[in-house]
Amino acid sequence: MTDTESTTGAGPDSPGLLRRGATSLRRPRVLVVAVVAVVLLGALTSTGLRLREHVADESARASALEAATRYATDLSTYDHRHLDAHFAAVTAHAHGQFAQQYKQVSASLTELIRQNEALSQGTVLTSAAVEADQDRAVIALFVDQEVTNKNTPQPRLDRNRMRMTLVRQDDRWLIDGIELL
C-alpha cells in the first residue's frame, strides 16, 4: 500500500470506488430493462390492435355470409302473383349500379313471369367468403332453384353458382354486384 492510498482511503478496495463501480454498472442495466419494457409494451399494443381488427373482420365476414345467403334466397325465390313485393324486397338490398341493372331486368321480366305463371323456390346449399373485410365482401354461393310454370308443371331444378359482392353501408350489407359462374 502506498502512502497516498493510506491517507486518502482511495485504494482499490475502498468503499467509495466500489459504490461508484456498482452505480455505473446499474445504469446500463436499468436502461436495458427500460428499453425491453418499451419494446414489449409496443409489441403488446400492436398485437392487441391486430387482434381487435381480426375479430372485427371475422364478425363482418360472418354477417356478410348471412346477408348473402338471405339475399341469394330472395333473388332466386319468386311468385308471379307477388312480383312487385319480391322486386321491391330485392331492390331494398341493392346498391349502386347493381340496383339500376336489377330494376331494368326485373321490369323486362315481369310480364314474361306473369304470363307463364312462374314460381321459383331458391335454396342456398352452401356459401363461402372469398374475401371479406369490414367494408366489402365477396361471397361464393351454390343456389338450387326449383322452377315451375304453366308450360312446365313438373319442377325443374336449376343449379346456379354465383359470386356476390357486398358493400357495407350504414351498418348493413348491400348487393353491389352478382356474377354467375
Asked if the model's pLDDT at residue 19 lies above 60, the reply is: no
Instruction: Kindly state whether residue 20 falls inside one of the protein's structural domains.
Output: no
pLDDT tens digits for range 105-118: 998 899 999 999 99
Tell me the three cell numbers of residue 122. 331458391
Q: How confident is the model at residue 79 (pLDDT cuts 50, 70, 90)?
A: very high
Instruction: Kindly state whether residue 2 falls inside one of the protein's structural domains.
Output: no
- As for how many domains the chain has, the answer is 1
Q: How confident is the model at residue 32 (pLDDT cuts 50, 70, 90)?
A: confident
Instruction: Kindly state whether residue 159 falls inside one of the protein's structural domains.
Output: yes
- What is the CATH classification number for the domain harbouring 164? 3.10.450.50
23 versus 80: the higher-pLDDT residue is 80
Q: Which residue, among 157, 136, 139, 161, has the nearest Cα to 148 in the 3D structure?
A: 157
Position 24 scores a pLDDT of 62
- What is the span of the domain harbouring residue 66? 39-180
Q: How confident is the model at residue 40 (pLDDT cuts 50, 70, 90)?
A: confident
Most confident of 9-18, 29-38, 112-121: 112-121
pTM confidence score: 0.70
Which regions of the chain does DSSP assign to beta strands (E)?
78-79, 119-132, 136-149, 152-169, 172-180
